[in-house]
Amino acid sequence: MKGAMSLQYCLAIDVAESKSMFCVLSQMGELVMPPTEYGHSISGFQAVLEVLLALDETDIHIIMESTSIYHLPVERFFREHTGYEIIILNPIISKENKRNLRKTKTDREDCLNLANIFFRNDYNQQSSHEQLYYELQAISRHLNHVQEGQNRTKNRFKQLLSLTCPEYIRIFKDNSIYSPTALHFIGCYPHCDMVKQKRVDALASCLGSVYKRHPNYYRRKAEMIKAALQDSFPAVTEDSETVRCLTDITKQLAEQEAYIDQLKARLIDLAQATEAFTIYISVPGIGPLTAALLIAEMKDIRRFSNVKKLTAACGLDPTIIQSGKSINYHGPISKRGNRLSRKILFNAIMSILMVTKRAYPDNPIRLYYEKKRGEGKHHHACVAACSTKLLRILFAMCNQNSLYQ
């Protein structure tokens, strides 16, 4: 097919969960391969590849939307079996291009729409990253999933405690109720009647079996627990299934915590291989875990040409609302970017504010927070503003390859 003038071709792919719609279009508008559906299998991908190879052309581009995880096997096949440029398109861009008077929404139309976007050059390609960043993000997303599951388990744990021994919630205050010592003790004595039947020495021995502190400390703790439960009358009896469920859930919480610690260690270990890790942890209040999470979700922030694009990628850019001659440039944040990035940045700001309260009172982020609070802004709005400021600081440090000073 090679002539005096080489034509440009586009393979457009409308990706679904287990199958996709493929079409090949030339820059002259010739439909080389009409929209055809193939499954995500070797034979399906190979059939499409044979169409491309039959063109005997090198100027071929492949375009598809980013669809969370569904586009990944398609992308992997064509990266490994061709040398063609692969364009991963932000779904927002293709959605904007689909707007017309007729509400037509089919896989065939979507496929052709992607090809038209390519030939109009009306897109911003998503950046490709080193494999290390994809591995970091995989751990980060799994860690977030496990932690969300742990939160549900903790809520159920407290519900069961309210039925078997509500005093435990007051004895082990706040998050100390999820500590290894508390979980072990509650697992051994899930019902208040069990504590009443035991000697103080046995209770103290159970408390001291996790961390080896002075025996007198655990004896005083055991005496306090036994005294607090003497007048307790729970909702269920000692032989209730609720008690057995509580015993099981204490073991589950302990296992979840151990697994989360393993994931955190793996994440930090991988993140240490990046240049940004040392830079991030130099900021007071940002520890190894927060630095690793930021790298996993934001990847190499030097790929952004300016800090405004980085801010938008995290969904922290303000919305602009115009009505006639009135324009509000300071609306709420868009929240259109990476949700986890915002969550990590917000947690980082809270940590920075806590650490700098006494040790670094002149920290620029703390001063900026206090300034915004002085203007009457809500705490959440101040944290969002500080998150944007932190991004500017990190962006400058990474581009200058300098530590925090």
Give the per-residue SS3 of 105-117. Answer: CCHHHHHHHHHHH
Per-residue pLDDT tens over the stretch 353-370: 999 998 888 999 999 999
Taking domain 9-126, whether its CATH number is 3.30.420.10 is answered by: yes
Q: At 141, which amino acid appears? A: R
What pLDDT shows up at residue 6?
Answer: 74
Domains 9-126 and 134-269 share a fold: no
* 85-89 vs 321-323, strand pairing mode: unpaired
Q: Which fold has domain 134-269?
A: Helix Hairpins (1.10.287)
In Å, how far are 41, 96, 114, 124, 322 from 318, measured between CA atoms?
43, 20, 29, 20, 13
The Cα 349–Cα 73 span in angstroms is 37
Which of 22-26, 36-40, 334-338 has the weakest average pLDDT?
334-338
Per-residue pLDDT tens over the stretch 75-105: 999 999 999 999 998 887 777 766 553 555 6
What pLDDT shows up at residue 337?
Answer: 84
Residue with tokens 């005496």: 223
The Cα 364–Cα 349 span in angstroms is 12
Per-residue pLDDT tens over the stretch 261-316: 999 999 999 999 999 999 999 999 999 999 999 999 999 999 999 999 999 999 99
What is the DSSP secondary structure assignment for residue 191, as one 8-state letter? S
The Cα 135–Cα 343 span in angstroms is 20
The Cα 72–Cα 85 span in angstroms is 15
* 19-26 vs 9-15, strand pairing mode: antiparallel
What pLDDT shows up at residue 334?
Answer: 85
Length of the chain: 405
For residue 227, give every residue at least 6 positions away whose Cβ sits within 8 Å of its Cβ, in sequence order, or none.
none
Provide the residue ranges of all domains of the chain, joining segments of one domain with +: 9-126, 134-269, 275-400
Arithmetic mean of pLDDT, 364-382: 95
Mean residue pLDDT across the chain: 91
Give yes or no for residue 4 having a pLDDT over 70: no
Report percent pLDDT > 90 for the chain: 79
